[in-house]
Amino acid sequence: MKTCLIVDDSSVIRKVARRIIEDIGYEVDEAEDGREAFEKCTQSMPDAILVDWNMPVMTGLEFVKELRSYIGGESPKILFCTTENDVGHIAMALKAGANEYMMKPFDREIMESKFRDLDQK
């Protein structure tokens, strides 16, 4: 089974996202910030990562940059999921190595279509 790491400091978002992503067919793990996510990745690299932008300890952007420069860290498909909804943030995330970007609020249909697109990338 494919694996997905959900990185968000909100337990509500993690819970909502987990339900949808498990339905899509992933085995899901969670992390509360970028640092915890990075450590989990060094132990076992997931196939996909859903990551928030603003989090304590280490932001989503810092996490993506650090992961992408780590050996093996180029393989996961990374999808941002954040309230940051301007062109500048989207461009910055893609440049840092994210594969896709989703703006909150989202719904199940958007999440499913983003994951379908990730499969093609």
Partner 1 sequence: MGMQQQTYNAIARFVAQESGIKLSDGKAYMMESRLTPVMSEFGISSFEHLATQLMAATSELRQAVVDAMTTNESFFFRDRTPFDLFSNVMLPRVAEAKRANGQPLRIWCAAAATGQEPYSLAISVLENQTVLDGLDVSILATDISQAALGTAESGRYTQFEVQRGLSAQRLITHFDQEGGAWRVKPHLRELIEFKELNLLKSLHQVGKVDIVFCRNVLIYFDVETKAQVLGNIRKQMSNTGYLMLGAAETLVGVTDHFLPTAEHQNLFQPTS
Interface contacts to partner 1, rule CB under 8 A: 85-87, 90-91, 93-94, 98, 100-103, 105-107, 109-110, 113-114, 117
φ/ψ bin of 23: left (φ > 0), alpha (ψ from -120 to 50), beta (otherwise): alpha
Of 36 and 100, CB closest to partner 1: 100
Closer to partner 1 by CB, 28 or 82: give it. Answer: 82
Least spacing, CB of residue 36 vs partner 1, in Å: 25
Nearer to partner 1, 17 or 30 (CB): 17
CB of 43 to partner 1, least distance (A): 29
Are the CB atoms for 79 and 102 separated by under 8 Å?
yes
Supply the minimum distance, in Å, between the C-beta of residue 39 and partner 1: 27
**DSSP string covering 15-66:** HHHHHHHHHHTEEEEEESSHHHHHHHHHHS--SEEEE-S--SSS-HHHHHHH
Least CB distance from residue 42 to partner 1, whole Å?
A: 27
